[in-house]
């Protein structure tokens, strides 16, 4: 029997989202066409926009459909940065080195090609940012800061940050804030209209939609410069034929994820706590990667004396899928850049395991994982000593 405990990388498509996707595929028409077929598919697209707007508490005009979280982040970071240069130069971008590479890499691209200057916010071992430094930077560089871009929930550790509070501090200086909410949306209470954000990224396959769809929520007050040019679709921010089947599946998945969130997350937190208790009983020297606020379905540990790749391989031999961090870094299982940025050593950052639960996770999945822990660790420890 196979066990999937890597839901932060992707999660099974929800049946109703798949059904909506397949039904939409049966409709013929380009949503930009003015004839009856086009109007029919445009109606499906706008239904999706309204559903996602309701689930995320924003105006439907603020929903921009994309291919996923990475594209959304690039639109927000580059688009807002360029827009902020129009009246006068603003070179600074506040972010953190614990972010997903879908944020770090666009910022570093702007640094290399556009002269941006990243200000990387320090993050403590409890997983929380140094807000004293953040406030100092706002006060010192306020007029020169183009934007702030920070994740709401860290995809590796599950750390939850106070994004509304961070946005509120930036608002005092008129600085727009973007948040990658890919690991947060559908798992914790989120209201875009109350968050104070200028933009927020969502990815469908983390919620139970097919891979290849996401959204960028953009406040009506914001006019980021587009990185894609063509027909001017999606408020002129994302040109191209609009993908109404994927958009509808995303909207349905988001609706379901938000609808069953309280019950599901409480159940998953209970399963996670059971898993962690068993892991610590089997490996007393293991340590949780954070002690601060975290998401209910994520568990991240440092297992001293082993290498992450060995642990993942051995669990895979037992038919159990877990990870060491972001799937976007698959094949590059070196030290976790997230843990390194939090002050962990190279050895500790190379010995991390991430277990993430999802809507399809059962008690049996947890039992099969915990029954393998001791054997996997002992074998990985032996392999580590022989390196």
Transcribe 226-267 into DSSP letters: PSS-SS-TTTTTS-S---HHHHHHHHHHHHHHHHTHHHHHHH
Question: Would the pLDDT of 386 be above 50?
Answer: no
Q: Which domain holds residue 318?
A: 3-11+261-385
Q: Which two tokens stand for residue 370?
A: 């915990």
Pick the closest to residue 358 from 187, 216, 225, 232 (CA basis). Answer: 187
Mean pLDDT rounded to a whole number for the chain:
95
186 & 286 share domain: no
**pLDDT for the residue 332:** 56
Last residue of a domain, one of 212, 240, 259: 259
Question: Would the pLDDT of 158 be above 60?
Answer: yes
pLDDT in tens, 60-78: 999 999 999 999 999 999 9
Name the band, by pLDDT with cuts 50, 70 and 90, for residue 329. Answer: low
319 & 380 share domain: yes
Name the band, by pLDDT with cuts 50, 70 and 90, for residue 327. Answer: low
pLDDT in tens, 14-60: 999 999 999 999 999 999 999 999 999 999 999 999 999 999 999 99
What is the count of structural domains for the chain? 2
**pLDDT for the residue 334:** 79
226 & 312 share domain: no
Which CATH number is 308's domain given? 3.90.1150.10
323 & 286 share domain: yes
207 & 336 share domain: no
**pLDDT for the residue 326:** 63
pLDDT in tens, 268-285: 999 999 999 999 999 999
pLDDT in tens, 119-133: 999 999 999 999 999
Catalytic residue set: 328
pLDDT in tens, 311-322: 999 999 999 999
Which CATH number is 130's domain given? 3.40.640.10
119 & 241 share domain: yes
169 three-state secondary structure: helix
7 & 20 share domain: no
43 & 179 share domain: yes
283 & 310 share domain: yes
**pLDDT for the residue 322:** 97
Name the band, by pLDDT with cuts 50, 70 and 90, for residue 383. Answer: confident
91 & 117 share domain: yes
pLDDT in tens, 180-201: 999 999 999 999 999 999 999 9
195 & 289 share domain: no
298 & 240 share domain: no
pTM to 2 decimal places: 0.95
Question: Would the pLDDT of 333 be above 70?
Answer: no
**pLDDT for the residue 1:** 75
Last residue of a domain, one of 259, 279, 295: 259
Beta strands in the chain (DSSP E): 3-4, 63-66, 92-95, 117-120, 145-151, 177-180, 199-203, 214-218, 287-288, 298-302, 320-321, 352-356
Q: What are the C-alpha distances in Å from 233 to residues 50, 116, 123, 204, 240?
A: 17, 28, 38, 20, 6
């Amino acid at each position: 029997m196979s066990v999937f405990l890597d839901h932060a990388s992707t999660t099974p498509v929800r049946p109703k989202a798949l059904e909506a996707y397949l039904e939409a595929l049966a409709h013929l028409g380009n949503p930009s066409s003015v004839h009856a077929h086009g109007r029919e598919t445009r109606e499906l697209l706008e239904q999706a926009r309204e559903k996602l707007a309701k689930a995320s508490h924003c105006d439907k005009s603020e929903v921009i459909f994309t291919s996923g979280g990475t594209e959304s982040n690039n639109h927000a970071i580059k688009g807002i940065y360029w827009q902020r240069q129009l009246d006068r130069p603003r070179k600074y971008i506040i972010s953190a080195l614990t972010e997903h590479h879908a944020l770090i890499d666009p910022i570093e691209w702007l640094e290399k090609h556009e002269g941006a200057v990243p200000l990387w916010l320090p993050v403590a071992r409890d997983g929380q940012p140094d807000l004293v430094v953040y406030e100092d930077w706002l006060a010192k560089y306020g007029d020169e800061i183009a934007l702030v871009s920070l994740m709401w929930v860290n995809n590796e550790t599950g750390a939850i940050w106070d994004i509304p509070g961070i946005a509120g501090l930036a608002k005092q200086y008129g600085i727009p804030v973007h948040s990658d909410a890919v690991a947060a949306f559908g798992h914790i209470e989120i209201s875009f209209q109350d968050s104070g954000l200028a933009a927020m990224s969502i990815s469908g396959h983390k919620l139970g939609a097919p891979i290849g769809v996401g959204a960028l929520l953009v406040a009506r007050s914001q006019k980021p410069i587009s990185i894609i040019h063509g027909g001017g679709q999606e408020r002129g921010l994302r040109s191209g034929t609009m993908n109404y089947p994927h958009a509808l599946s995303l909207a349905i998945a988001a609706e379901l994820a938000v609808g069953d969130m309280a019950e599901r997350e409480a159940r998953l937190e209970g399963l996670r706590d059971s898993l962690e208790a068993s892991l610590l009983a089997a490996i007393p020297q293991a340590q949780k990667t954070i002690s601060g606020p975290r998401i209910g379905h994520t568990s991240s540990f440092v297992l001293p004396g082993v290498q992450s790749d060995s642990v993942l391989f051995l669990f895979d031999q037992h038919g159990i899928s877990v990870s060491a961090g972001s799937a976007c870094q698959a094949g590059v299982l070196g030290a976790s850049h997230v843990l390194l940025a939090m002050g962990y050593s190279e050895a500790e950052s190379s010995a991390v395991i991430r277990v993430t639960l999802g809507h399809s996770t059962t008690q049996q999945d947890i039992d099969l994982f915990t029954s393998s822990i001791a054997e996997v660790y002992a074998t990985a420890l032996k392999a580590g000593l022989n390196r």
